[in-house]
Amino acid sequence: MSEKSADWTSGEAAIRYQSCAACGSVQYFRRGFCAACGATELAEQRASGEGTVYATSLVCRAATPETRAHVPYNIVLVDTPEGFRMMAHGDNDLAIGDRVTARFVPFAGRLVPFFEGREE
Q: Is position 58 an interface residue for another protein (rule: CB under 8 A)?
A: yes
Identity of the residue, 67 or 101, whose beta carbon is nearer to another protein in the bound complex: 67
C-alpha to C-alpha distance for 106 and 103, rounded to whole angstroms: 10
C-alpha to C-alpha distance for 106 and 11, rounded to whole angstroms: 10
Q: Is position 89 an interface residue for another protein (rule: CB under 8 A)?
A: yes
Please state whether beta strands 73-79 and 110-117 pair in parallel, antiparallel, or not at all (unpaired): unpaired
C-alpha to C-alpha distance for 93 and 81, rounded to whole angstroms: 22
Residue of the chain from 13, 14, 62, 105 that contacts another protein (CB under 8 A): 62
What residues line the site for another protein (CB under 8 A)? 9, 28-30, 54-64, 66-67, 70, 72-73, 75-77, 85-89, 96, 107-108, 110, 112
